[in-house]
Structure 1
C-alpha cells in the first residue's frame, strides 16, 4: 500500500490517482484505521473534484468555441443578407430608372406625334380655308383624339408610377412573390399604349401626306386568316370562338387597308364579347364583296349607333374586361373604306350583340 500511495503521488493521471486513493480508503476502513481511511477518502474526493473541474473547464471551453463559431456564422449570415438586400435595392433602382426612362421616351414620342399631328392640321386648315364644313369636322376629330389620348396617357403613366412605388414597397418588405399581379397590370397598360400609338401612327400617315391605296384583287379569306392569327391571343384570353364562313371571294382593295379594317372591327367585336362567338360571313353580289362580322356581345343602344361614325363624338366605351379604347379605330375604318370606295353599316341591340357589314368592290371596273 505504501508503493500504491507513492505511485498515486507520482501519477499525473487523475482518474488513476482517484482510483488508488479510493482503494486505500477501503483498505484502511476495513482494518479499522479510520484516520488513514479519512485521509485517503479526502484525497479521493479531491481527485474527483479535480476531474470534475477539468471536465467542466473543458466543456466551458468547448461551449465558448461553439459560441464564438456561432457568432461568426451569424455575422457572415448578416453580411450575406445585407449584401443580398443591397443587390436587390440596386436592381430595383435600376429597374425604376429603366421604367422612368421608358416613360419619358414614350412621352417624348407621343408629344412629337401630337406636335406633328397639330402641325399637319394647321397646314390642312390653310389649304382648305374655303371648306368650313370639312374643317369643322376635322377639328372635331382632332379634339376627340387629343382629349382621349391625353386622358389615357395620363392614366397609363400614373399607373406606371403607382406600380413603381408598389414594387419598391414589396421589395423592401422581402415579398417579391406579390409582384406578379403588378407585372400583369404593367403588361396590360403597355398593350393598351401600343395599340393607341399604332392607331395614332396610322391616322397620322393618312392625314399627313395623303393615302394612295395600292389596289389589287385580294383574297378576303386570306386577309381574315392573317388578322385572326394576330388577334388569336386576344380571342383566347376572353374565351371567344371565331367562326369564318368564306370561300374564294375576292375584293378590289388595298391589302393594308383591308387588314386595318378587319383588325379594328374584329378587335372591337372581341372587346365587347366574353365567352361568346364572333362569326364572319363573306359573300359576293352585284360586283361587290360583303364581309359581315357578327358578335354575341353586349351590343349597343340606338343612340350609340347614331353617333358611331360621327367625327368629334366621344363614343369610347369600356369592354367586358375593362378594356379602354380611343375611338381612333373606327375613324381609321371609315377613312380606309372611303379611300377604297367601300361602305360600312352597323346593326345592334343592347344585350344581344352587334353586326358590322363591310361592302367593297370585287371588280377592277
Structure 2
C-alpha cells in the first residue's frame, strides 16, 4: 500500500503525475460518455417524434386519397346527374388541393432552412396581413365560442413576402384558437418598437412551462398538453413560422405560463421611407 511504501522510504517520483494523468483521462472519458449518451438520447427522441409525425402524415394523406379514389370510381362506374357530377368534381378538387397543401407544408421547412425559397420583396401593411388572417380564423373561433379581438396595427409598413407572412401570422392565430378552451379570448395587437413592427397573438389557453418553451420551435415537437388536448397537429407549424420570420430578418418572443395562456410576438424590421419608395425586386 502507499503507507507501507512510505514507511520504508520507497518513493516513486513519477507516481503523482501518472495518477493525475490517469484521473484526468478517466474524468474526460466519463464526460465524453455522458455527452455522447445525452446526444444519443436526444437523437432517439427526435427520431421518435419524426416517426410519429410521419405516421400522422400518412394517416392524414389517406383521408383525401380515399375521397379522391372513391369519387373518381363513382363517376367512372355510374350514370350520374350533371349536378351530382359537379358536386363530386368539386370534392375531388378540394381534396386534391388539401393533399397538395399538406405536402407543401412539410417541404417548406427544409426549403426555408436551406435558403431555397426566394422571398418576394414587396411593400405591404402589417394591418392588412393581420386583418386577412383574422377573417380566415374567425369561423374557427366562432365554432369554439372564442372571442377574437383584433386591434389595428398603426404605422406598420413591412418589406418582404406577404404570402409567407400571412402563413406565419395565421399559424400563430389558429394555434391560439385551437389550444384555447371555449368562452375565452384571443387578442391580436400590433405596435411599433423603434425600428421594428411587433405583432402579438395572446391567448388564454393552458400555457407552457419553461422546459416546453425551450423546445417549441423544434420540428415535430408537441407539448404533452397539446397531445392530450385531442387536437391534431404535426409539431411542424412553429418551425415554419420561425424560419419565415428569420428569413425576414426578424425574431419571435414567447411568454407563457401553465394555466395562464401564451403570447407569441413577431418582431420584424419596419420598412424605411427610402425602401418603401423604391421597393427592390
Distance verdict in 2 for CA 1:284–1:158, change over 3 Å:
closer
Tell me which residue corresponds to 1:329. Answer: 237
Q: Which has the larger radius of gyration?
A: 1
Distance verdict in 2 for CA 1:268–1:151, change over 3 Å:
same
Identify which of 226, 235, 254 aligns with 2:161: 254
Tell me which residue corresponds to 2:69. Answer: none
Identify which of 251, 255, 259 aligns with 1:347: 255
Distance verdict in 2 for CA 1:326–1:140, change over 3 Å:
farther
Distance verdict in 2 for CA 1:320–1:219, change over 3 Å:
farther
Identify which of 147, 153, 174 aligns with 2:51: 147
Greater relative contact order structure (CA < 8 Å, 6+ sep): 2
Q: Which runs of 5+ in 1 are unaligned?
A: 1-135, 161-189
Are residue 242 (structure 1) and residue 176 (structure 2) matched? no
Identify which of 191, 200, 206 aligns with 1:283: 191
Measured after TM superposition, the shift of residue 231 of structure 1 is 2.0
Q: Which runs of 5+ in 2 are unaligned?
A: 1-39, 65-94, 276-281
Q: What do you get for the CA RMSD once the two structures are aligned?
A: 3.6
Deviations 1:169-203 (A, max 9, x none): xxxxxxxxxxxxxxxxxxxxx89978744521433
Identify which of 253, 272, 275 aligns with 2:179: 272
TM-score, normalising length: structure 2 = 0.60
**How many positions carry a matched residue from both structures?**
202
Deviations 1:63-101 (A, max 9, x none): xxxxxxxxxxxxxxxxxxxxxxxxxxxxxxxxxxxxxxx
Equivalents in 2 of 1:257, 1:316: separation in Å?
A: 28
Structure 1 segment 5-84 matched on structure 2, within 5 A? none
Identify which of 219, 224, 230 aligns with 2:125: 219
Measured after TM superposition, the shift of residue 256 of structure 1 is 1.6
Which has the larger share of helix?
Answer: 1
TM-score, normalising length: structure 1 = 0.48
Distance verdict in 2 for CA 1:319–1:142, change over 3 Å:
closer
Measured after TM superposition, the shift of residue 153 of structure 1 is 3.7
- SS of 1:284's equivalent in the other structure is strand
Q: Is the 8 A contact 1:289 1:362 kept in 2?
A: yes
Measured after TM superposition, the shift of residue 319 of structure 1 is 6.9
